[in-house]
Amino acid sequence: MNFFSSNFKLGILGGGQLGKMILYNTRKFDIYTCVLDPSNEAPSKIACNEFYQGNLMDYDTVVAFGRKVNTLTIEIENVNVDALETLEKEGVTVYPSSKTLRTIQNKAKQKLFYIDNNIPTAEFSRFAYTSEIREALNNGGLELPFVWKSAQFGYDGNGVKVIRQLNDLEGLPNVECITEKMIPFKNELAVIVARNADGEVKTFPVVEMEFHPEANQVEYVICPARIDETVAKKAQEVALQTSKAFNHVGLLAVEMFQTQDDHILVNEVAPRPHNSGHQTIEASYTSQFEQHLRAILNLPLGKTDSKVGGIMVNLVGAENYTGDVVYENIESIMKMDGVTPHIYGKKQTRPFRKMGHVTIVDKDINTARQIAEQVKNTIKVISK
C-alpha cells in the first residue's frame, strides 16, 4: 500500500501531546491523518488533516470515526475496545489490537497475563472493591506496606497510592483494584520495543527514570541508564519476552524495577509512544514516534541506537498555579548547550499537569544530568 502523498488515511484516537508528536512525523512523510479527541483544544488539532471532537469511550463515536480511516492507532489506552473489535471485523487495521488493549486496560488482567506468560512481576492480590482490603489486612492475607492501584483508568500519579498505614486507605475510590508488594528497588527502568506485522523487532536502549517523590511522576528520563551491562541485557530480554507474549504491533513501553539483587520485574506496559522515549527525538537515529508509525504501517523499522546521551525533563504545572500558562525563564534554558524545549500546546496550567518536556543532549551523560538539574531549577510553569 502507498501511504505517502496518497489517499491512505491514518486515524489516531486521542489528540494529546503524544498524538501531536506522532503528527510531526506524519507531516514529514506526508501521511494523511484524522484525529479524534474529546477536547476542542487538543494539542494535535493544529497538526492533523481532519479533527473530530468526540468521546473516546463512546462505542458509536469510535466506530464512526474508525470507518473513515484505513489504519487506526491510539495515543491513550482509555478508548472503547468493543468499537475497535467491530472495526477489526470490518477490515480496518487496528494497532494495538483490541485483544492487546483489553488486557492492558485492566491492571488486574495485565498482572494475570504476566503470571500466565512467565513474565517476572511483583507479587499482587486483586480485589473487586477497595473496601475488601481492610478485611484482608485483618485476617493476615495482606501486609503493610503495599501499593494500591485502581484496576481501570489509572495513569501517572493517578489511581496509584502507597499504603503505609491503615488510614492511608481513606478517601480512595471503592473500585476494582490490585495491591502490590512494595519492591525495594534500586532503579526504575524502561525499554521501548517496536514490532511490525512482519515480526521485525527492535528495542531502544534501556532508560532509567528518576521520580518526583510527591507527585509520583517521572522527573528525569536518562538514556543510557547508568546500570551494569548485564542488567541492561536482562532488561532488554524481559522487554522482548513481554512484547512477544502480547504479539504486539507498534510500540510497547515496558516499565520495570531493578531489584536490590538485580532481578528485573515488569511493573506495567503501555502499547504506544511513552514518556520514557521523548528524548529519542533529539538523541536517537529514529525517534519513538517515527518508529511507531513504521511499525503500525508495517514499514522497515529504523535504527534505534542513540547518537548522543539524552535526558528528558518533564515540564509540569507548578503548585499553586492554575490558569493561562506562562513558561517563566524559558529563554534562560534555551541559552544552555544541547537544550531543546517541547511545548505541548495546552493553554491552561494546573498543579502537576504535563505541559511539555525539555531534552538535554550531551556526549557525556553525567554532564547532561547536571544541565538537566539546572533546567529543572530554572524554568517554571506558572500562570498569569
What residues contact residue 272 under an 8 Å CB cut-off, 6+ apart?
18, 73, 74, 75, 76, 77, 96, 250, 251, 253, 292
Cα 149 from Cα 154, distance rounded (Å):
7
Q: Report whether 180 belongs to an annotated binding site.
A: yes
CB neighbours of residue 33 within 10 Å: 20
- The number of residues in the chain equals 384
Q: Report whether 85 belongs to an annotated binding site.
A: no
Q: Report whether 149 belongs to an annotated binding site.
A: yes
Cα 306 from Cα 221, distance rounded (Å):
14
Distance from chain centroid for Cα 26 = 20
Q: Report whether 1 belongs to an annotated binding site.
A: no
Cα 269 from Cα 198, distance rounded (Å):
22
User: Following DSSP, what letter does each residue of 317-345 receive, concatenated?
Assistant: PPTT--EEEEEETHHHHHTSTTEEEEE--
* Residues 383 and 323: beta-carbon distance below 8 Å: yes
H/E stretch holding 103: helix 98-105
Angle at 156 between CA 331 and CA 22, to 5 degrees: 60
What residues contact residue 214 under an 8 Å CB cut-off, 6+ apart?
none
Q: Report whether 267 belongs to an annotated binding site.
A: yes
3-state helix/strand/coil string of 141-184: CCCCCEEEEECECCECCECEEEECCHHHHCCCCCCCEEEEECCC
Binding residues: 107, 149, 180-183, 188, 267-268
Q: Please state the residue numbers annotated as binding site for ATP.
A: 107, 149, 180-183, 188, 267-268
